[in-house]
Structure formats: C-alpha cells, structure tokens
C-alpha cells in the first residue's frame, strides 16, 4: 500500500507506528548483542608491539656465602622485686648502673650500649593478689671480639649482676658478603637462562632488568641459662661462633639477541 493512497488523517499515524517499530527492533538487537559473549579475533594488529613487550628469557638465581661472624650481640637484663613500684625502680636503677659500669670497664663504648626494654608491673601471688612490684630492664651490647664473648658474658653475670642473658652473632658490615652473594646469584641466573636459550634454539641477549628478591634478617639469639650453673671463675663459658650464611636471590630478565 502506498502512503499516498491513504487519507491525510491516517498518514501521520501509520508513519509514527513505523518509526516506533524500527526503534523497538533496534533496542532488541542491542540487548541480544550485549548478552552474547564477546569474541575477539586476533589479527596482525593484536600482536604486542616491541614498545610494550620484549621477548626474552627470565631466570632466577640463588647464592649463599658463609662468613665467620665478627660481632657478638649481647642482651643482658636486671630486675628487682619490691613492695612498692618506687622502691622497685630505685633498686633496679642501682643494679642497672652496676651492670653498665661493668660493661664499660670491659671496653664497651657508649654507642654500643642501648636499652631495649624497661618495665614496671604488679607482681601477683598464687591467690591473684598483688604482693609487690617487679621492675626490669634489658640492655643490648655489642661485643667486637667474638673469640672472648664467653669470658665477657661471665664478667657481666658474675660481677655485673646480669640476668636473662642472651647472645647472637652477626657481621659488622653485612653488605660486603651480600654483594659477593649477589654477584654469584646473578651468575647462577645467567647460567640457567643460557641453558633455556640453548634448549629453545635462541640466542641470549643483553640484560634488561635485574631484581633483588632477598630480604635482610636479624641475628638469631641463643639463650644461656645461668640459673642452672654459670662457668666457674677462671673457666670462661664456651660459646662456639661457627659461620653465618648470607643468602641472596635475584631475578634477571635477558633480551634475545
């Protein structure tokens, strides 16, 4: 039917209905298309460009270097139990002064003496009642002659009155050992990358990125219980020094030649 055959009064209505039907069909198609899973066909334009992706060989490397410690870290404490908090603090101050004076007499410098903990708290009896106050102080000391650390600890306990004694070992400058281990770890990563490149039939190129994945550690302290018997005078406590392991892990990315 031609629109010109319709009466002038029906033409606007038919025309409006046609437009409404076209809009409805368009909306339906859009909804259906939106609910369909998207499929992307990767053509040549989808291949990553060298500006954003560089083919290469990625490898991790590990290395461990063993070194004899050159520094001992001593943790020595004193404590006091008195009827009141103030008397406990006063008594603790006297004991701490004696211990620090002994440390200095052994040659420990002020910069190597640090308070690591101080506490005053109620002391409870078996019936959960306060029967006094306990004050304690923990002091960290650096001892730079690991071969005599046993004798030093005996002096701090027997003449300095130290209790709660612990000792650990470390390196005064760990960066030297870390640098040595890091060089070995990078060499290990290169060896692994070269083996992978040979297996894949490609040629290894220059290094494009190096990441150090290792983390720093703290000395592990070994406790010494003097309550079970300190060394007798003239016989220093024997504390084997041994060696410390410095470990480094790296990740190295190599380009292809």
193-243 residue pLDDT tens: 999 999 999 999 999 999 999 876 545 544 445 444 455 566 778 888 889
Question: What pLDDT, on a 0 to 100 scale, did the predictor assign at position 238?
Answer: 86
List of residues 6+ apart from 254 with CB closer than 8 A: 56, 57, 58, 59, 190, 193, 197, 204, 205, 206, 207, 208
Q: Are 166 and 75 in contact (CB under 8 A)?
A: yes
Question: What pLDDT, on a 0 to 100 scale, did the predictor assign at position 88?
Answer: 98
- CA torsion, points 155, 157, 161, 162, in degrees to nearest 10? 120
Q: Which helix (H) or strand (E) holds 58?
A: strand 56-67
What does residue 126 show for φ and ψ, rounded to 5 degrees? Answer: -65, -20
Question: What pLDDT, on a 0 to 100 scale, did the predictor assign at position 230?
Answer: 54
State the pTM of this model: 0.66
CATH of 68-172+219-242, one of 2.130.10.10, 3.30.70.2970, 3.40.309.10, 3.10.110.10: 3.30.70.2970
230 is written with which tokens? 């300190």
Question: What pLDDT, on a 0 to 100 scale, did the predictor assign at position 127?
Answer: 87
pLDDT along the chain (257 residues), means of 10: 47 45 42 34 40 83 94 95 97 98 98 97 92 97 94 94 91 92 97 96 94 71 47 73 92 95
CA-nearest of 135, 156, 132 to 90 is 135
Cα 67 to Cα 87: distance, rounded to the nearest angstrom: 47
């Amino acid at each position: 039917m031609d629109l010109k055959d319709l009466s002038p009064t029906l033409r606007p209505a038919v025309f409006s209905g046609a437009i409404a039907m076209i809009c409805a069909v368009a909306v339906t198609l859009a909804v259906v298309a939106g609910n369909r899973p998207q499929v992307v066909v990767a053509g040549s334009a989808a291949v990553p460009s060298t500006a954003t992706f560089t083919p290469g060989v990625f490898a991790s490397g590990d290395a461990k270097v063993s070194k004899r410690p050159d520094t001992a870290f001593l943790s020595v404490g004193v404590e006091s139990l008195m009827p009141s908090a103030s008397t406990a603090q006063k008594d603790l101050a006297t004991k701490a002064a004696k211990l620090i004076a002994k440390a200095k007499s052994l040659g420990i410098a002020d910069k190597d003496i640090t308070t690591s903990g101080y506490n005053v708290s109620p002391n409870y009896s078996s019936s959960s009642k306060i029967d006094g106050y306990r004050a304690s102080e923990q002091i960290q000391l650096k001892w730079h002659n690991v071969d005599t650390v046993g004798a030093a600890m005996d002096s701090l306990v027997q003449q300095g009155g130290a209790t709660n004694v612990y000792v650990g070992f470390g390196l005064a400058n760990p960066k030297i050992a870390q640098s040595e281990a890091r060089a070995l770890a990078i060499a290990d990563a290169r060896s692994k990358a070269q083996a992978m490149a040979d297996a894949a039939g490609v040629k290894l190129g220059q290094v494009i990125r190096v990441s150090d994945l290792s983390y720093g550690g703290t000395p592990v302290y070994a406790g010494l219980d003097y309550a079970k018997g300190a060394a007798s005078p003239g016989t220093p406590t024997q504390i084997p020094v041994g060696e410390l392991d410095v470990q480094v892990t790296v990740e190295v990315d190599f380009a292809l030649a």
